[in-house]
Amino acid sequence: MTRNPLMFAGAVTAVLALLLHAVSPARAELRIDITRGKVEPMPIAIPAFSGSGGDENQTGQEIAGVISADLERSGLFRPLDPRSFIQNVSATDAQPRFGDWRQINAQGLVTGTVLTQGDGRLRVESRLWDVFAEQQLSGFGYTTTRQNWRRIAHIIADEIYKRITGEDGYFDTRIVYIAEAGSQAKRTKRLAIMDQDGANNRFLTDGRALVLTPRFSPTVQEITYLSYANGTPRVYLFNIDTGQQEVVGDFPGMTFAPRFSPDGNRVVMSRAENGVSNLYSLDLRTRQPTRLTTSQAIDTSPCFAPDGSKIVFNSDRGGSQQLYIMGANGGEARRISFGSGKYGTPVWSPRGDQIAFTKIDGGSFFIGVMHPDGSGERLLTRDFLVEGPTWAPNGRVLMYFRQSPSDSRGYGGSARLYSIDLTGSNQREVTTPQDASDPAWSPLLR
Amino acid sequence: MSVATAETGVTHEPTVPEQTSDGVAPRGVALSVALHLVLGTVFILGLPRLFAPPIPEELPVAVQLVTIAPETRATRPNPNAPRPNAKPDPPVADAPVTKPEPEPPVPAPVPPPSAETPLPPELVKPPEPKPAPPLPVLKPEPKPEPPKPTEKVEVPRPKEKPEPPQQMAKNESKAEQKKYDPGQFEALLKNLAAQPSAPSPDAPPQRPRVASAKPSSQPRAPLGSQLSASEMDMVREQIARCWNVPAGARDAKDLVVEIKVVVDPDGMVRQATIVDQTRLGGDPFFRAAAESARRAFFNPLCRPLHLPPEKYAIWKDLVVDFSPKDIL
């Protein structure tokens, strides 16, 4: 009696299921899952920006060249050879002839105009087109002085990068580094700054005092670094606008390995005393120092997490040099590196998901990355000496320096800057007029 | 009811009381249940192997732990690096030309014109590039397609059957074994330490085809009126070749882009619409991925799609899910 209704319900359900099953093919669309794709640079056409005459056309061509070079260097784009272009774009106003661009297999197209305004300044307008979809993806316009055209080009390249990849760009940035010259015995080291692509190189110090480990403030107007200006190595601040230098904190003894906090209000550094080094932070507004570690070891190379809550550093407190993480105000430290060899100069990625480091193992140097919990260690590059990783502001690209000895004993040779993609591909030299070491990448300038 | 079962010791068996209450011979039922239980136990546990020799104990295998090889591959090009161009960038260790360029016109990349000309040193602080209010649309586009939402893309098709795509597909097939091996994406993340286990381009480890195993890929239809597994694989492969993945991005794992596609009988995609329009507006990474996925259908390599013409009724409306989860 109680079973019959149950049986009936069961039968009805079964019939319904069968019916549904039979009916569904008529309505269901065919579904296809794609979980693979190709990872290769996007072919993009960047014809010279058009102007109404001599100077404008020249600038338009140069802007397109800088955009091309920026995008190409990222490894994610493949600018097409202008000689292959079929359409001669003359004005951005007209819609491009997409067929012409499809034919040379351009997926993206960048067009632009350069116009001199009444006040002598340049008005640069640019559009990004999806050639396959035949639609405009974005358009932007900027006004600036004529000599500032490179920044406009970098900013446009950033916009294109962001629109196509979904991530922020890093082209409108600078690098501060140590320019080296002279023989090994009489080496001069100067603070230098340049655009991310190597242009606009400029020396900030005269080379009389040895300088090391420059770091950008988040505000981009200040650099902190180590200088032997008065014989003792001390941490200094350098204001790029005014050229002014000052010692950070009035500590006895030597201080080194400085780095700004993400808000720019503090500098963390190492201070050596009685054969041990401990970490200190200094509030730049109150000039009040705080001691962060009290170990009988060498604690150094502190670096804040992008949210300012933690500090990663390296220490030999456990016997060998390893990476540790602690709260931003000190406290207990947790070791995160457990591979073979020694780990140093940890740098937290601006997007927070990775920590880059230098590793010494088996007589070689490596640049690697790991997650902040110590997992997922990957070594990206190796050489006789690779050191000093620094992140592009989007956390996608690393720069470091590489020194190759000129003789078998490891002496001589030159130091050069290189950049590499987080995936470990696209390793490239960053050209500098002299030998270069200790690069530090600025945040986006805007 | 429990009279008979008491002796068999299975009084707790819940099905027994019900059956006995129906008046079936209680003793027989109990016996049957008991025997079934025994049979079931034997089935689950297996017959005792009284005379089988004892299983030899696993001997520990000696493994030598080797530290990272002192030989580097840092200067070797990543075999699967996503950079096909062999631009002679000065002393760069990375010019992986693993991928023969399939497209007919392979223009060399732009030589950076005047890229390195340093400006006069007084450019200490860049004045004001003053990003003027970015014009979202510089000027009203002379492309009035008012009835259609912007996301629906119609591509005018070439009048005649395009020869080039065919040819490209042919070229492609030569290169594709090397180019689109499934291990490619693991290799994307280069790790010197793990290099020995990195897949070589020639012998890609066959990774389980997640997608093809999914039942959702198969239309529920009587046999014969659906795409066969190989037909499905073929079009899947083809679309994968047309999809330029935005790689290396954060949170790519959680991303699925659903695209509704309307296909013409000749295999040409007439319309490709991104389904999740709300996320399209708010999430730049989703937008980048979604647009890259939609672009796949307008890639010459996917025009036309390789689908069996006689089954047009099945594939004239497609839903394609793109997910880079296997990639990073």
Q: How many contacts, defined by CB atoms under 8 Å, are there between A and B?
A: 352
Give the minimum alpha-carbon distance from A342 to chain B in angstroms, rounded to a whole number.
Answer: 13
Higher pLDDT, B186 or B106: B186
Residue A62 has a pLDDT of: 93
Whether the upstream peptide bond of residue B215 has omega within 30° of 0, thus cis, is no
Of the residues A119, A141, A165, which one is the last residue of a structural domain? A165
Residue B46 has a pLDDT of: 67
Overall fold of domain B153-214+226-326? 3.30.1150
Residue B184 has a pLDDT of: 44
Q: What's the CA gap between A156 and A161, in Å, rounded?
A: 9
Q: Are A304 and A216 in contact (CB under 8 A)?
A: no
ipTM of this complex:
0.74
Residue A441, C-beta contacts closer than 8 angstroms, at least 6 positions apart: A170, A173, A174, A175, A196, A216, A390, A391, A392, A393, A399
Q: What's the CA gap between A261 and B29, in Å, rounded?
A: 80
Q: Are B219 and B314 in contact (CB under 8 A)?
A: yes
Chain B residues with CB-CB distance to A80 below 8 A: 107, 109-110
Chain B residues 6-65 with a CB less than 8 Å from chain A: none
Residue A205 has a pLDDT of: 86
Q: What's the CA gap between A23 and A15, in Å, rounded?
A: 12
Q: Does the beta-carbon distance from A83 to B317 stay under 8 Å? A: no
Instruction: Examine the domain organization and report whether A245 and A291 are in the same domain.
Output: yes
Half-sphere exposure of B252 (CA within 13 A, CB side): 21
The tokens for B200 are 């070589």
Q: Is B313 on the interface with A (CB under 8 A)?
A: no
Chain B residues with CB-CB distance to A127 below 8 A: 138
Does the structure show a pLDDT above 60 at B143?
A: no
**Which of B99, B126, B136 lies closest to A139 in CB terms?**
B136
Instruction: Examine the domain organization and report whether A161 and A179 are in the same domain.
Output: no
Of the residues A138, A165, A192, which one is the last residue of a structural domain? A165
Judged by DSSP in three states, B117 sits in coil
Q: Are B192 and A366 in contact (CB under 8 A)?
A: yes
Q: Is A295 on the interface with B (CB under 8 A)?
A: no
Instruction: Examine the domain organization and report whether A184 and A224 are in the same domain.
Output: yes
Q: Does the beta-carbon distance from B260 to A29 stay under 8 Å? A: yes
The tokens for A174 are 């600078």
User: What are the backbone dihedrals phi and psi of residue B71, each rounded to the nearest 5 degrees, phi first?
Assistant: -75, 135
Instruction: Examine the domain organization and report whether A152 and A182 are in the same domain.
Output: no
Give the minimum alpha-carbon distance from A300 to chain B in angstroms, rounded to a whole number.
Answer: 26
A297 within a domain of the structure (yes/no): yes
Closest CA to A311 of A294, A329, A296: A329
Closest CA to A49 of A101, A91, A2, A96: A91
A14 within a domain of the structure (yes/no): no
Q: Does the beta-carbon distance from B139 to A198 stay under 8 Å? A: no
Q: Is A316 on the interface with B (CB under 8 A)?
A: no
Q: Residues B166-189: pLDDT tens digits? A: 333 334 344 333 343 434 444 556
Instruction: Examine the domain organization and report whether A159 and A190 are in the same domain.
Output: no
Instruction: Examine the domain organization and report whether A75 and A192 are in the same domain.
Output: no
* DSSP assignment letter at A298: B
Instruction: Examine the domain organization and report whether A124 and A245 are in the same domain.
Output: no
Q: What's the CA gap between A189 and B88, in Å, rounded?
A: 30
Host domain of residue A71: 42-165
Q: Is A429 on the interface with B (CB under 8 A)?
A: yes
Residue A343, C-beta contacts closer than 8 angstroms, at least 6 positions apart: A314, A321, A322, A323, A337, A357, A358, A359
Q: What is the CATH number of the domain that holds A390?
A: 2.120.10.30
A32 within a domain of the structure (yes/no): no
* DSSP assignment letter at B204: -
How many domains is chain A partitioned into structurally? 2
Of the residues A165, A185, A218, which one is the last residue of a structural domain? A165
Chain A residues with CB-CB distance to B241 below 8 A: 38
Q: What is the CATH number of the domain that holds A81?
A: 3.40.50.10070
Give how far Cα B254 sits from Cα of A424, B94, B186, B207, B221, Å. Answer: 23, 31, 17, 20, 30
Burial A264-274 (b: 16+ CB within 10 A, else e): bbbbbbbbbee
A377 within a domain of the structure (yes/no): yes
Q: Is B68 on the interface with A (CB under 8 A)?
A: yes
Q: Is B281 on the interface with A (CB under 8 A)?
A: no
Half-sphere exposure of A135 (CA within 13 A, CB side): 16
* Confidence band, pLDDT 50/70/90 cuts, at residue B12: very low
Give how far Cα A170 sits from Cα of A220, A223, A361, B39, Å. Answer: 14, 19, 32, 70
Q: Does the beta-carbon distance from A107 to B182 stay under 8 Å? A: no
Query: Which residues pair with residue A138 across a beta bridge?
Result: A128
Indicate the domain borders of chain B. Answer: 2-45, 153-214+226-326
Give the minimum alpha-carbon distance from A364 to chain B in angstroms, rounded to a whole number.
Answer: 8
Instruction: Examine the domain organization and report whether A267 and A382 are in the same domain.
Output: yes
A315 within a domain of the structure (yes/no): yes
Q: Are A379 and A368 in contact (CB under 8 A)?
A: yes
Chain A residues with CB-CB distance to B323 below 8 A: 33-35
Chain B residues with CB-CB distance to A66 below 8 A: 112, 114-115
Mean pLDDT for each consecutive 10-residue tract of chain A (446 residues)?
57 56 55 85 92 85 95 92 80 75 90 89 92 88 90 94 90 93 84 92 88 84 84 84 81 81 90 89 87 91 93 92 93 91 94 93 92 92 90 92 78 84 88 91 86
A25 within a domain of the structure (yes/no): no
Residue B326 has a pLDDT of: 62
Chain B residues 214-253 with a CB less than 8 Å from chain A: 214, 216-217, 219-222, 225-227, 232, 235-236, 239-241, 243-250
A26 within a domain of the structure (yes/no): no
* DSSP assignment letter at A244: -
Q: Is A379 on the interface with B (CB under 8 A)?
A: yes
Instruction: Examine the domain organization and report whether A305 and A178 are in the same domain.
Output: yes
Q: Does the beta-carbon distance from A165 to B249 stay under 8 Å? A: yes
Instruction: Examine the domain organization and report whether A222 and A347 are in the same domain.
Output: yes
Specify the residue for token string 């950008």. Answer: A216
A77 within a domain of the structure (yes/no): yes
Residue B86 has a pLDDT of: 35
Q: Does the beta-carbon distance from B93 to A38 stay under 8 Å? A: no
Give the minimum alpha-carbon distance from B257 to chain A in angstroms, rounded to a whole number.
Answer: 10
Instruction: Examine the domain organization and report whether A114 and A221 are in the same domain.
Output: no
* DSSP assignment letter at B195: G
Instruction: Examine the domain organization and report whether A216 and A159 are in the same domain.
Output: no
Q: What's the CA gap between B82 and B186, in Å, rounded?
A: 12
Beta strands B153-154 and A435-441 are: unpaired
**Which of A37, A144, A221 lies closest to B129 in CB terms?**
A144
* Confidence band, pLDDT 50/70/90 cuts, at residue B112: very low
pTM assigned to the model: 0.69
Specify the residue for token string 């099953």. Answer: A21
Residue B118 has a pLDDT of: 31
